[in-house]
Amino acid sequence: MSPFAFVGLHVLNNNKFNYTNQNLYNDKLYKKNLRADTDQACKHYIFMTTFENLGLSNELITAVGGLGFENPMPVQEQVIPFVMNETCDLIALAQTGTGKTAAFGLPLLNLINNEKKQIQVLILSPTRELCIQISNDLKNYSQYMTGTKIVPVYGGESIVSQIRQLTEQPQILVATPGRLIDLINRKKVRLDSVQFLVLDEADEMLNMGFQEDLETILQSVPDERRTLLFSATMPKEIEHIAQKYMNDSKSISIGIRNSGSDNVEHVYYTVQASNRYLALKRIVDINPDIYGIVFCRTRQETKEVAEKLMRDGYNADALHGDLSQPQRDSVMNKFRIRNLQILVATDVAARGLDVNDLTHVINYNLPDDVEIYTHRSGRTGRANKKGISVSIIHTREHNRIREIERMVKKTFTKENVPSGLDICKRQLFYLIERMEHVQINDEQIDQFLPHVLKKLEYLQKEDIIRRFVSLEFNRFLDYYKNAADLNITDKPNRNEHQKSKKERNCENRSKREKTSKRGQRIRMKINFGARQNASPRAILGLINDVTNDKSININNIEISDKFTFFDVFIDQSEQLINAFYRNNRTPFDIDIAKEGKKRIQYQNTESNFYANTGKRAKSSKLQRNSRRRKSRMNKKRF
């Protein structure tokens, strides 16, 4: 069956025809009528590819046309009619940059009552930047609508000015979870009239530790409201929220679940770990018109890479959690207007960035979580434009590349790190292309031209070209003169080759289980409680700072007077304990929580924990090691 026929069948399904792909294949009667039905559906599909035919008001159509939107994007074609015509909840899976804001914003603007001064639509976003972006987009869409008020509330700004905007309740409130809860506690926001609740970038909100805040907000809105959930991936936590708080929800998926964008090309370079920065420079030099983000794992690495790039003459800067809000705004403004070509950032700092037309996303280090890679690569290739996601890896990370390929359903291309000669050629041709397309202002330059011609009259044409090229080009020639080859040949590990097939399969299975970030969780505690003003965000920040690893998955945080309890994956618990034990700067200790009177025991070699099962640890030596570690921690404390 052709792809066009599948599109037609999808439209038939949305319009209440009782056809499914499985039935069409299994039932002979449906097979006979397949061609006629899909032809009808495809005609209907073509008819529905303009905003005028989606049922929007004239004011919205005029605003959309003025913004340059001609045809709705796939997510908009499916979501807009659904929100306007159906009454059930919605789960929409679509990559970042596919037009989700217009997909939910346009129909909601069409459905609200402008005469009522009540919050009818609540939109939650994970970050300040995304909150502002959504608010600005909705204001642009509603510019020809009278009486529509849209207010964004978010952290990092004065709450007094935001409270002042809420004196007259808006029809649409766009908020970050933390600031919204603060306003609810101050009784400055009433949510009893909310008809629509939108969770945008829901997976990002959970990754940032907002699950408890989300559940608090979901319990504060009316039960009869409709919930629209938008996410790029579908982790189990999202499924839990959907099952608990959504009613009769329907799913719409643009592309393959948890997959990457079709507009993004995925490539990787293999180098020695010590040559990672040199490889980054060559990737940037071979792409002189690059406009992209370099993702690093830690704040310190972000600072170091950005400082090296700036010292080497690149238009780069860093974005990380140590920046104040004014510093962050300054960096982002320079990047948006392209005063910066390269932004070096951590994943947390880059969440919610509103930047279009990125040509490259560079993974200076691969993320530990595949879903983070999906979000990284989704920042390029937006609005039907092409983009490239680059990963710099070393020889021991090839299995990680294969794992990401399986999860995002994309094939990665291995490329060689450019040589010095390749870079010099590319820079030379780029210089010539710029000269060919430069705009000449005859009025201003004509008055200087006679003097310039007289100054250069002793030179031949070839000499002028040679000197002109050398003026811009000498620094690349000097830098890459006798440049070393950074590529390394993939050689099979001899010890690995000698292992039996059964041993290799066991090891691979163990690695997959370790990196899958799924499985049994264990309860842990830290002596950081309400007395020390502990909060979920403070707990997550402390763990990130001590471990320098944002992939540690914390869940079910419970704060008591003296302690905070939380769940963590078993294969990450030992890493957490060791990180706090080795860190001399933090006054807090982390340990495995007790359940009742039985202490949870664990085996160091197998990472198996036994809780309330009555089982004994297999080795008394491991128990002694655990007691010794606890004793050393107590001595260290005093």
- Whether 188 maps to a domain, the answer reads yes
- Whether 348 maps to a domain, the answer reads yes
The confidence band for 256, taking pLDDT boundaries of 50, 70 and 90, is low
Same domain, 275 and 185: no
Residues written for the chain: 638
pLDDT tens across 257-267, in order? 545 567 889 99
Task: Give me the phi and psi of 567, to 5 degrees please.
Answer: -100, 145
Dist CA 364 CA 390 (whole Å)? 8
Same domain, 531 and 630: yes
Same domain, 415 and 428: no
pLDDT tens across 370-428, in order? 778 888 888 888 767 889 999 999 888 888 898 888 888 889 999 999 998 899 888 88
Q: Is the pLDDT of residue 136 over 80?
A: yes
Q: Are 286 and 106 in contact (CB under 8 A)?
A: no
Same domain, 430 and 413: no
Same domain, 117 and 225: yes
Dist CA 230 CA 203 (whole Å)? 9
**207-221: average pLDDT:** 83
- For the chain, percent of residues with pLDDT exceeding 70: 78
Give the SS3 label for residue 228.
Answer: strand
Same domain, 245 and 269: no
Domain that holds residue 289: 264-419
pLDDT given at position 301: 92
Same domain, 475 and 538: no
The confidence band for 327, taking pLDDT boundaries of 50, 70 and 90, is confident
Same domain, 92 and 225: yes
- Whether 2 maps to a domain, the answer reads no
Domain end position, chosen among 430, 457, 479: 479
Q: Are 113 and 212 in contact (CB under 8 A)?
A: no
**528-547: average pLDDT:** 86
pLDDT given at position 287: 94
Domain end position, chosen among 200, 221, 253: 253
Read off the pTM: 0.57
pLDDT given at position 48: 47
The tokens for 262 are 């079709």
Angle of the 211-218 helix axis to the 177-185 helix axis, nearest 10: 50
Domain end position, chosen among 369, 400, 419: 419
- Whether 14 maps to a domain, the answer reads no
- Please state whether beta strands 413-414 and 387-393 pair in parallel, antiparallel, or not at all (unpaired): unpaired
Average pLDDT for the chain = 78
Q: Is the pLDDT of residue 518 over 80?
A: no
- Whether 73 maps to a domain, the answer reads yes
The confidence band for 79, taking pLDDT boundaries of 50, 70 and 90, is very high
- Whether 545 maps to a domain, the answer reads yes
Angle of the 620-637 helix axis to the 570-582 helix axis, nearest 10: 40
The CATH number covering residue 143 comes to 3.40.50.300
Same domain, 286 and 157: no
Among 166-175, 197-206, 444-453, the range with the most confident prediction by mean pLDDT is: 166-175
- Whether 314 maps to a domain, the answer reads yes
The CATH number covering residue 554 comes to 3.30.70
Same domain, 414 and 292: yes
Give the SS3 label for residue 469.
Answer: helix
**537-558: average pLDDT:** 84
**356-372: average pLDDT:** 87
Among 254-268, 329-343, 579-593, the range with the most confident prediction by mean pLDDT is: 329-343
The dihedral over CA atoms of 344, 350, 354, 355, expressed in degrees to the nearest 10, equals 20
Q: Say which amino acid occupies 4.
A: F
Q: Say which amino acid occupies 582.
A: R
The confidence band for 49, taking pLDDT boundaries of 50, 70 and 90, is low
Lowest-confidence region among 57-61, 81-85, 488-492 = 488-492
- The 3-class SS string of 106-175 reads HHHHHHCCCCCCCCCEEEECCCHHHHHHHHHHHHHHCCCCCCCCEEEECCCCCHHHHHHHCCCCCCEEEE
Same domain, 562 and 575: yes
Same domain, 150 and 96: yes
Q: Is the pLDDT of residue 112 over 90?
A: yes
- Whether 10 maps to a domain, the answer reads no
User: How many domains, the chain?
Assistant: 4
pLDDT tens across 591-627, in order? 888 654 333 333 333 333 333 333 333 334 444 555 5
